[in-house]
Structures are given as C-alpha cells and as structure tokens.
Amino acid sequence: MSVTPKRALAEISLGSSVKISTLSDGNLSLPPEMVFGEMPQSKLTELMAKRSITLTKYEPECNVTLYRDGTNTVLFDVGAGPDFMPASGKLSESLSAMGLSPEEVTHVIFTHAHPDHIWGVLDDFDDPLFPNAMHHFGRKEWDYWWNPSTVDSIGADLASFAVGAKRRMEVIEDRVELFDDGQDILPGIAARASYGHTPGHMTFELRNGSEPAMIVGDALGNPHVAFERPDWHSGTDQDPVAAAAARISLLDQIAHDHMKIIGFHLPNGGIGRVERSESNYRFIGEPS
C-alpha cells in the first residue's frame, strides 16, 4: 500500500509560540509475528478482538515530528529514505507539501538509529539531506551504533541495521552533537532516557507554556498492546525487559502529568493523550 503524502497529518500548538506538526514518511509493512510473536497468543487474540483488529498484516504509519518555535525548525527523526521499504521514505515529499525545504531545518534530533528513523538522513547522492542542521544523538545510542563490533553482536537479523546506521553516521559525524539523559537540547526540549527498544533509545519532553508533551519514538510503538499490556515483550525491542520497564514508566508519567503524546508509529499522525484505567492505559488520538 502506498501512502500519498499530504500536508501535516496532525497539528497542535504548545503555548503561544510552538507549533508541532506530524509529517508522513509513509508506512512500514511487517510480518505481525515479528512484533507480536512473543506475546501470550490467546490473550493477544482476545485483546485484538475487543478492538475488532485482525492481525493478518501490520503496516504501521511512520510520523516524523516537526517542531517550530519561530527560531528553530526541528525534525525528530528523518524517516527511512528510499532504500528500506517501498511505502516509506516519503518525508521529502511531505516537507515540500508543507512549503518547507531541507535547507530550512536547523536541528535534527534522533530517538534512535533504526532504519525507519535514520536512513532518511542522506540524499540521493549520499550527502546530508539537511545541510544546515545540527544533528543530535543520545550519547549511548551513538556509541552503540558507532562501535564496529555491534554488527557482530547484534545478530544476523539486524546486521543490516548496524551497517546502515554506521554508514550514515560516518557521513554526518562532523555535524553531530551528543546529549545525555536529562539534558536540555534546546530551550523547552529535554532528553529522557527510555532504553530498551534500542540500547540508547531516547524520548523528549517538550515543556513550553502550560501544555507539556512527550515525543515517545518507538518506546510506545503501537496504539493497542503497548498501552494495554506495556509489560508484554515486543519482538522489535532489542532488550524486551528494559523496553517494557521504559513503557510502564513513560505511561505513568504521561498520564500523571496530563501530557500530550506524539508517537512515531501511532495512528492518524500519532498525536493524542493517555488515559489511565484501574489496570492499564489507553491511547486517545486527537481528532484531526
């Protein structure tokens, strides 16, 4: 299935000066068992039946977040570029539909270095696509993918992820700044560790005015199981135990602080909120 990019998928304002838009990079197509195979299957079927979902195919959206505060034009992740999957890599078209050129992007901030989040950082000539942007990585995430032994330790299934990340990181190395957990990357944008999906996966707290928001990347990678059973292990998490702990901690904070949530693979642009019930959580999408 191919997705035709349009203008922003969803938009919200934070305070009087910050505008958040989510832009489509298209979608992935994954075998459902790759994500859900490790979960208790009869309970999973029950959970999905309640929501009238049949898991014969799994084609999650990819939503890149654009943050504009009047001075900075920031992208959170850059999508997959042309080489990963046929229906992904649409960010450039979505940016131009917004009337924005890659040259106008001042900062790129990465949640993690999986292909659907970083492979779009280069153009067709393998040069940086965002020539005027500083590129920001969590130090732990950068060190993991930069390490030449990662390709041997990550396992055969993900070896291409390691090669693909390193190749791109080498091109952008001289325009990279590293940040640590808790650090303010820009005014109003703070890093929050959420390790597990990848060894150094980061989420971002946006605190501008009275309405806080959290960009969760792949720490909350789907709108159903990740919220209703954050304790279940997902096949796409490199450290499933740490990823489950990160989900539970994030959901607790987002619900408690009444934060907006912005998710890379959540539906309809991925902006919404989290509702807590007595035993679990629910993703409530913003009406678009």
Cα–Cα distance measured from residue 288 to residue 269, given in angstroms and rounded to the nearest whole number:
8
Cβ proximity to Zn ion, 211 vs 239, nearer residue? 239
In what side-by-side order are the strands of the sheet with 73-76? 10-14, 18-27, 61-68, 73-76, 107-109, 134-138, 176-179
Could you say which residues in the range 229-248 bind Zn ion, by CB under 5 A?
Answer: none
* 77 near Zn ion, judged by CB under 5 A: no
Cα–Cα distance measured from residue 268 to residue 114, given in angstroms and rounded to the nearest whole number:
22
* Contact with Zn ion (CB under 5 A) among 25, 141, 205, 218: 218
Per-residue contact flags (x/-) with Zn ion for residues 113 to 132, judged by CB under 5 A: ---x----------------
Stretch that binds Zn ion, among 98-106, 129-137, 169-177, 212-220 (CB under 5 A): 212-220
Cβ proximity to Zn ion, 218 vs 228, nearer residue? 218
CB of 4 to Zn ion, least distance (A): 21
Per-residue contact flags (x/-) with Zn ion for residues 159 to 198, judged by CB under 5 A: ----------------------------------------
CB of 114 to Zn ion, least distance (A): 5
Residues in contact with 175: Cβ distance below 8 Å, sequence separation at least 6, in sequence order: 128, 133, 134, 135
Cβ proximity to Zn ion, 132 vs 268, nearer residue? 268
CB of 211 to Zn ion, least distance (A): 25
**Burial of residue 57, with CB atoms counted within 10 A of its CB: 0-12 exposed, 13-18 middle, 19 or more buried:** exposed
- Which residues would be at the binding site for Zn ion (CB under 5 A)? 116, 218
